[in-house]
A and B are shown apart, each in its own frame.
Chain A
Amino acid sequence: GAVVSQHPSWVICKSGTSVKIECRSLDFQATTMFWYRQFPKQSLMLMATSNEGSKATYEQGVEKDKFLINHASLTLSTLTVTSAHPEDSSFYICSAGGTGPYEQYFGPGTRLTVT
């Protein structure tokens, strides 16, 4: 089946620094990728939709200048959390859409802790 990977699986960074999270579709091409954020004991919240070669579409309330998304190829999307603060500490999950209208495959998630 389709596999989506994320790197790193966990990261600790200091407040004020930036951190990049990679999302890769390993065995299929994904024209669309999605980024979610999940706080402890809460559900997943869609942050943005990224399409290969175009600007990402952000959900209401998500700061596009803080969460930079790049989808430069059909197998890679990156999320950069800029000037991270402790409140950005969360579990970040990506997913990739396949060729069918109902295919979406999730990555294993990245645990970000900002100290």
Chain B
Amino acid sequence: DAKTTQPTSMDCAEGRAANLPCNHSTISGNEYVYWYRQIHSQGPQYIIHGLKNNETNEMASLIITEDRKSSTLILPHATLRDTAVYYCIVESTGNQFYFGTGTSLTVIP
């Protein structure tokens, strides 16, 4: 079963930062937080992952709270192409991903 909860949907103005929250209050010490996104009728695309520290790559930033019970994915300058369903997943080393419902992000021109 999915170990995360996310808002069902969010809107974001084009060019603004999109902040997508995720709750994972039962996360274990060895579990990573992953973010993927899925554009309609395509396979999920990897965005970023982290364990304890905040992470940043060319796509996004991941902020993990100190108690690791929640995290936020930040898309710094949202574009129309960022419209997708964003999934937050927690997993250890078996790579078995149990997807939750995700957040449907709509970037508005």
- A associates with B: yes
Choose from A6, A43, A105 the contact partner of B102 (Cβ within 8 Å). Answer: A43
Cα of A107 to Cα of B93 in the assembled complex, Å: 20
Interface: A85 (CB within 8 A): no
Chain A contact residues: helix, strand, loop or mixed: strand
- Contact residues, B13-45 vs A (CB, 8 A): 32, 34, 36, 38, 41-45
Please measure, in the bound complex, the distance between the C-alpha atom of A97 and the C-alpha atom of B44, giving whole angstroms.
Answer: 14
Question: Is A43 in contact with B99, judged by CB distance below 8 angstroms?
Answer: yes
A6 proximity list for chain B (CB < 8 A): 43
B64 to chain A, nearest CB (A): 14
In the complex with contacts A97-B95, A104-B97, A109-B49 CB distance below 8 A: no
A-B contacts at CB below 8 angstroms, number: 57
Q: Which residues of A contact B87 (CB under 8 A)?
A: 43-44
Tell me the nearest residue of chain A to B34, going by C-beta.
A102
Write the residues of chain A forming the contact surface with B, with a CB cutoff of 8 angstroms. 4, 6, 32, 34, 36, 43-46, 49, 91, 93, 95, 97, 101-109, 111
A-B contact pairs, 17 of them (CB 8 A): A4-B43, A32-B95, A34-B95, A34-B96, A36-B99, A44-B97, A44-B99, A49-B94, A93-B43, A95-B44, A102-B34, A104-B95, A104-B97, A105-B46, A106-B44, A106-B46, A108-B43
